[in-house]
A and B are shown apart, each in its own frame.
Chain A
Amino acid sequence: MHRWKKLGKVFDPTAHPDLPWLREFAQGPATLVFDDFVRVYFSCRPAPDANGAYVSNSAWVDLDRRDPRKILRVANSPVLARGGFGEFDEFGIYPVSPIRKGDEIWLYYGGWTRCESVPFNVAIGLATSRDGGTTFAKYGRGPILSYSLHEPFVLSGPKIRRFNNLFYLFYIAGTEWLREAGRPEPIYKIRMAVSENGVVWRKHGHNLIPEKLGTEEAQASPDVLFSNGKYHMFFCYRHGKNYRNAERGYRIGYAHSKDLVVWTRDDARAGLIPSQEGWDAEMVSYPHLLQVDGRTYLFYLGDSVGRWGFGVAELQGELA
């Protein structure tokens, strides 16, 4: 089992009353390492509209590279504007995943639109930065990875990684909307696409991670690192219905692979579970892995899927 030392909550979105676009939620933490600091991109929400509907923005917070509990500065505006009428990202940019490409920083993101019969749909967009990741311009008005025959809706949660001189995008694809009292709930599974240039993608086309809770298990936030001769994936999963509670809510899972295609799921080795009390006692979710200066960190969300912020844990030992 991986042993994690929890360092506590790092960022509290409700502590910034001067930033109206950042009122609640700090979701989907994703890091980029700079000389003196680690930038953590995250997604947040302003106050909901009169119907209680939220939009999502994405921004960043810079942490001390030697001590990721220490906040150096917070973005003063979102990194990307939401899309125009009818565009896939009209109602949200969430979550994001950055990677360096030459002098630029490329950001893959989930773009959210609102639908009539189901609450939303998501496709994956790309934006690029030439000012070191402070602001981004969209690659296009449409998505870079969208719906296809066997990935019909909700392509979200992109995590971009580079292995063996190729770009790998780990993401989720919806399989079914469950009709629940109230509103329909989506089920999604972890998928992968591969690209030589980061623009043209080839979908792998199959679920990567075997289900543990049956076909109604929803899987999310697949993040992968290579260490000690194999690939390690941390992700999160939940029940399909009635999951907004401690029993059926998100937990962090783990899988390993030699080739990125065949994965062995072994959640018992994930090692990060909810605390007895405090900000992450109800759930732990949306893991993101960072290796820097010989240390391995796992950023993650606590209760209410990050409504009150994200925290970090440090691995004791190595990914093995």
Chain B
Amino acid sequence: MKWRKLGLVFDLAKNRLPEGCIGFAQSPQPVVFDEFVRVYFSTRVLDPTNGKFISEVAFADFEPDFSKVILVSDRPVIARGKLGCFDEHGIFPMNVVKHGSELWGYTCGWSRRVSVSVETGIGLAVSTDGGVGFERLGNGPVLTSSPREPFLVGDGFVLQEGGSYHMWYIFGTCWRSHEEGDVPERTYKIGHAVSGDGIDWRKTSEGSATLPDAIGEAESQALPCVIKIDDLYHMFFCYRHSYDFRTNPARGYRIGHASSKDLKNWNRDDEAIPLEVSGGSWDSDMMCYPGICESRGQTYLLYNGNEFGRHGFGAAVLER
């Protein structure tokens, strides 16, 4: 696959975020409409009680070829989670899919812990106004931890295919201090679940990673998304080492790829999507949090660059 980079299509130096947001446009999640592409992303506000970040979901509408930003939402699309709920401290990311006349948003909700920094779960919120506002179906998650997936279930991506719903998501395998006394860092892998209605989910291979590791057991894999191109399914995701990944470009996020004919057996071949790293640019140190869509016959890959998307997100178009 050959990709042509379009650069930082959503540049926070040029676009205004909803009031109170202090930066970041993470995990771009596109939904294609007739006249525009709406991209949901997670931005951040400060928690006034302790100065920590809380992720809020907003969107930007683009021309169908991502040449121009048409508008940016002026407020978050979903309210903050309630006290003690799985999504109390933010939503990052939210995968939005069309569902009849509604839009369904699969949220990755965050809540803070004491011994480790965070726990996550996957929730569901519904929009009946074309995607401007979403209401939760309930205060709890639709997918969460289970005996063999003990924590950090998140990053749900949903695809309706052949009369059923597929979800690829991530689950944590361990929290580990790299060195004695260090803050514990997490490792997570991609899993798969199916559903008849998009609400009740069954994990198809609980505790087993969908993809093999490329950089060893301590590889963390995140943000799976899947698209069918011709007769083949393509999964994009990002992966990194589990420690020293924030500022060391050699250990930070890269975008990976796998393909499948049946949505069950995947062949991982990261080298098949050479997204060359260009020195000194917005995505020179890191590429992460991919989102994928087809718009007006072209396939677009959206992703974040350096500093996990602090400065916005970019795009690349598939050259056939």
Residues of A within 8 A of B (CB): 83-88, 90-91, 113-118, 121, 123, 126, 139-144, 146-154, 174, 176-177, 179, 184, 186
Cβ–Cβ < 8 Å partners of A147 in chain B:
86, 121, 140-141, 144
Chain B residue contacts of A91, Cβ below 8 A: 115
Residue of B89, B138, B150 touching A152 (CB-CB under 8 A)? B138
A142 touches B140 (CB 8 A): no
Expressed in whole angstroms, the minimum distance between the Cβ of B156 and any Cβ of chain A is 14
Question: Could you list 6 examples of A-B contacts with CB < 8 Å?
Answer: A86-B116, A86-B172, A114-B113, A115-B113, A140-B148, A142-B146
**When the two chains form the complex, which single residue of A85, A141, A184 contacts B147, counting CB atoms closer than 8 Å?**
A141
Task: Give min CB distance, A19 to chain B, whole Å.
Answer: 25
Interface centre among B83, B86, B186 (most CB of A within 10 A): B83
Cα A113 to Cα B112 in complex, Å, equals: 11
Question: How far apart are A195's CB and chain B's nearest CB, in angstroms?
Answer: 14
B98 at the interface (CB under 8 A from A): no
CB contact under 8 A between A177 and B151, given known A85-B176, A115-B111, A150-B138: no
Contacts of A174 in B (CB 8 A): 84
In the complex, A177→B150 CA distance in Å? 24
Q: Apart from A117-B83, A117-B111, A153-B86, what 12 extra A-B contacts exist at CB < 8 Å?
A: A85-B116, A90-B115, A114-B114, A123-B145, A142-B150, A144-B146, A146-B146, A148-B138, A150-B139, A153-B85, A153-B140, A177-B84
B150 touches A141 (CB 8 A): yes
Within the complex, the shortest CB–CB distance from A48 to chain B, in Å, comes to 15
B145 engages A117 (CB within 8 Å):
no
How many residues of chain B are within 8 Å of chain A by beta carbon?
A: 41
Note all chain A residues with C-beta closer than 8 A to B144: 146-148
CA gap between A88 and B175 in the complex, in Å: 12
B149 at the interface (CB under 8 A from A): yes
A177–B184 Cα distance when bound, in Å, is: 28
How far is it, in angstroms, between the C-alpha of A91 and the C-alpha of B142 when the chains are bound?
Answer: 25
Contact with A along B120-149 (1 / 0, CB 8 A): 010110000000000001111110111111
Assuming A85-B175, A144-B147, A147-B144, is B115 touching A152 (CB within 8 A)? Answer: no
The smallest C-beta distance from A154 to any residue of chain B, in angstroms, reads 8
B binding-site residues for A, Cβ under 8 Å: 82-86, 88-89, 111-116, 119, 121, 123-124, 137-142, 144-152, 172, 174-177, 184, 186, 199, 207
A84 to B115 alpha-carbon distance, docked (Å): 10
CB neighbours (8 Å) of A113 from chain B are 113-115, 119
* A contact residues around B207 at 8 Å (CB): 140
Are A86 and B114 in contact, CB atoms less than 8 angstroms apart?
A: no
Given A146-B144, A146-B146, A152-B140, verify A88-B83 contact (CB < 8 Å).
no
- Closest-by-CB residue of A relative to B146 is A142
A184 contacts B83, C-beta separation under 8 Å? yes
A152 with B83: in contact, given A142-B147, A143-B147 (CB under 8 Å)?
A: no
How many whole Å from A72's CB to the nearest CB in chain B? Answer: 34
Say yes or no: B112 contacts A115, CB within 8 Å: yes
The 6 closest A-B pairs by CB, nearest first: A140-B147, A149-B138, A152-B140, A142-B150, A116-B112, A85-B175
- Say yes or no: A140 contacts B83, CB within 8 Å: no
Q: Is the CB of B175 within 8 A of A149?
A: no
Q: From B49, which residue of chain A is reached at the shortest CB distance?
A: A117
Given contacts A118-B84, A121-B84, A147-B86, contact A86 B140 (CB under 8 A): no
